[in-house]
Structure formats: C-alpha cells, structure tokens
C-alpha cells in the first residue's frame, strides 16, 4: 500500500501508509428510507474568467457525478448549499444545473431528485420587503415547476432581513405553500451553515423557532412532504420529528449523528437529505441496503467509521464543508482536479486536508489508494509538503 508524507499538529511531517479500501456492495432493491445526497458542482478550472466572481462549471463532470449517485440508489438534492448555492452559484447558474439534472434523471427510471428554490436572486438588504420575498420565492418555485421538478424550499437570507415578527415567516410560507403544485420539503438551515440565517423563524432560540416552523407545517400539511432540519443537534431533530403532523417526514440534515437518526427509535425515524452522502456515497448506499435487508448491525458497522470523517468535514466554520466534499471527489477520481467555484478550495487548511485523508482512509473510503495517494502528494506539494 502507498506511503506518503502528511503534516501533523505542531508543524511536523510524518509518513502515513494507507490501508486496503472496503468493498461496498451495490444496492439490489430500493431502500426502506428515502435518501437524498446533496450534490456538489464541479468547477471548470480551464475557463477564462474571474474565479471569485464567475461560476465556471464543468457541466459534463457535474452531471456525471449525479449519475454516480443515482447508480448507487441515492437521490439527488439539487442546487442546495452543497452545490455552493449562495457561495459562488447564482440563481441563473442553479436553474441551469436543475434543468440539466432533471434531464439526466430521465435515464434512471424512478430516480429521486429534488430541486432547491429560494430567494437568492434578491438582494438581502434593509430595504427588502416581505412582498419582495414572496415574489422571489414565487419566481423560483414557478421556474422549478415549469421544468417538472419537485421543490425543496430553501431558507431565505432576504426573509431574515425583511421579517419583523414570526408572523412574517408564517405569511411568506403560507403564501408559497398555498401555490405550489406538489408537496415540498422545507429546509431549515441553521446559522452554523449560514450565519446570515441566524434568528430564522423569528427567534434566535431554536426551541421557539421550532414552534413557529411546526405551526407553519401544521397549517399546510398537505403541501409539506417533509422538513429537513440542519442544526447539528440530534435532540432538537428528534423533538421536532415527534411533533410533525402525520404524513410529514423528517429528513435529517445532521451530518454529525445521521446513523442513529436514520435508524430511529420506537417513536419514529428520519429519512435523509445529507451533504455528507455526497462524500461517502458508496458506504451510505451499502449501509442503507443492509438496513433494508434487516441487517441493522451491518448498517451501523458500515457507517460508524464515516462519522469521524463527517464531523471533521463539517467542523466549524461549518459553511466551509463543501471544500471537504469536493476534495473527497478529487481523491476518488470522480473529478480530475481540486478547483472549486469561487476559489473555495482555499477555505480549509493543509492540516485539515491531511486529517481528512487519514479519516477517509480509516473508513475504507479511498477507492483506489494509489490514485488517492498520488493526488494527495500533488496537493501537499503545492502547500509546501515534500514527498
């Protein structure tokens, strides 16, 4: 197995030898949990433009990655924050991404795909009004529905700016839910993922915010397929899950505790809509396949070593987790470079990437250790680590 030099704490360099990768069997039947992977985008490193200002996308590689996810039985949550929505990807770019993904999904009968609709084309400043927010949501929802897509209703930075009371949130969501053609997934993205969403639902305290969200959902249960909660707190997710109206699903967005939340308890379980499923897709697929067969022990055995990796990728500042997700795709040969939209490859340190490599290897997630080591050496060389 290949050995390479990696940095450790204290500014030291130490040799590291990779282990044999794990073999993750492909699914043979549909899962007994709904499972979306929020998918990243692949940048075009050869485009002539301004990387901090222009989202140059390698569309072929981006769609090929979605085909990879569908082949593993996972759904695709499209144009979400994992796709750098609001961190490099504009609404026009995102709509083109949605269009291309919906078209590609036709090659996979029964493929699961949800598409993010929000208000990110609206300037979030002190002058924005509730009516502005409603119109922005209406515009994006109509565009997704025109393409035949199912909506994941994303949180709105502009709504945080415009709202004066929790009643403003109820007004906006009530208006949008009244108009959508099919039930949506509401995404409550916490401030650890996006600081601009602090105080969502009109309260900084999550318990009070949850009361508002539950009231919104309970007022429109036929128009809500589920809610994705991304607060990285399993107790809050479970508490909300137990309060949802009958027929409304909880989609875990907890990249720290997903295994136990998906497994559930005597009172219920969470389905999945996770950014980490982009990075650990083969393991997630194999684990869900085992769980569907009733092999709960293998489900936990497969996912347990992925949790330290996920917690590392999503460590604070959590909004920079996309760098780790893209780095995993690069190490595993799912894209041929480590360049990101808006130069986001620079958001994590050399030490962070080195520890990611070690944790991915420990989880058996480096599909081709020789290739992964070769690529890791190249990245380390650009950061001053000789191999």
The length of the chain is: 387
Asked whether the predicted pLDDT for residue 138 surpasses 90, the reply is yes
- The predicted-structure confidence for 33-87, as pLDDT tens digits, reads as follows 999 999 999 999 999 988 888 899 999 999 999 999 999 999 999 999 999 999 9
**Confidence band, pLDDT 50/70/90 cuts, at residue 299:** very high
**Separation between Cα atoms, residue 275 and residue 157, nearest integer Å:** 20
**Separation between Cα atoms, residue 264 and residue 302, nearest integer Å:** 17
The crossing angle, in degrees rounded to 10, of helices 281-292 and 296-303 is 170
Tell how strand 224-230 and strand 184-189 pair up. parallel
Domain 27-304 coded CATH 3.20.20.70: yes
Residue keyed to tokens 């997710």: 237
> Distances from the Cα of 114 to the Cαs of 45, 136, 267, 295, in angstroms?
27, 19, 27, 28
Rg of the chain in Å (alpha carbons)? 20
pLDDT at 245: 97
**Model pTM score:** 0.96
- The predicted-structure confidence for 224-259, as pLDDT tens digits, reads as follows 999 999 999 999 999 999 999 999 999 999 999 999
């Amino acid at each position: 197995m290949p050995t390479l030099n990696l940095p450790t704490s204290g500014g030291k360099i130490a040799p590291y030898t990779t282990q044999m990768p794990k073999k993750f069997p492909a699914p043979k039947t549909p899962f007994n949990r709904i499972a979306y992977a929020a998918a990243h985008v692949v940048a075009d490193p050869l485009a002539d433009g301004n990387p901090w200002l222009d989202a140059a996308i390698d569309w072929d590689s981006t769609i090929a990655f979605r085909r990879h996810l569908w082949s593993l039985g996972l759904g695709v949550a499209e144009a979400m924050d994992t796709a750098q929505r609001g961190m490099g990807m504009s609404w026009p770019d995102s709509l083109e991404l949605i269009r291309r993904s919906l078209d590609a999904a036709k090659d996979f009968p029964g493929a699961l795909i949800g598409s993010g609709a929000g208000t990110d084309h609206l300037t979030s400043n002190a002058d924005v009004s509730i009516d502005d927010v409603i119109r922005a949501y209406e515009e994006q929802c109509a565009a997704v529905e025109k393409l035949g897509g199912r909506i994941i209703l994303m949180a709105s930075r502009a709504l945080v700016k415009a709202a004066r009371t929790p009643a403003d949130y109820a007004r906006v969501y009530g208006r949008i839910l009244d108009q959508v053609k099919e039930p949506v997934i509401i995404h409550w993205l916490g401030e650890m993922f996006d600081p601009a969403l602090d105080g969502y639902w009109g309260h900084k305290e999550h318990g009070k915010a949850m009361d508002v969200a539950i009231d919104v959902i309970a007022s429109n249960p036929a128009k809500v397929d589920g809610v994705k909660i991304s607060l990285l707190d399993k107790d809050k997710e479970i508490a909300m899950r137990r309060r949802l109206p009958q027929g409304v699903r909880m989609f875990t967005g907890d990249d720290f505790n997903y295994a136990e939340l998906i497994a559930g308890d005597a009172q219920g379980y969470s389905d999945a809509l996770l950014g980490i499923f982009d990075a650990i897709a083969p393991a997630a697929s194999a684990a869900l396949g085992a769980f569907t067969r009733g092999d709960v022990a293998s489900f936990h055995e497969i996912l347990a070593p992925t949790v330290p990796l996920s917690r590392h990728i999503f460590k604070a500042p959590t909004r920079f987790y996309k760098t780790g997700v893209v780095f995993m795709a690069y190490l595993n040969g799912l894209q041929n470079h480590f360049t990101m939209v808006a130069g986001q490859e620079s958001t994590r340190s050399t030490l962070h990437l080195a520890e990611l490599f070690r944790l991915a290897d420990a989880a058996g997630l480096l599909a081709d250790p020789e290739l992964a080591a070769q690529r890791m050496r190249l990245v380390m060389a650009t950061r001053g680590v000789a191999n």
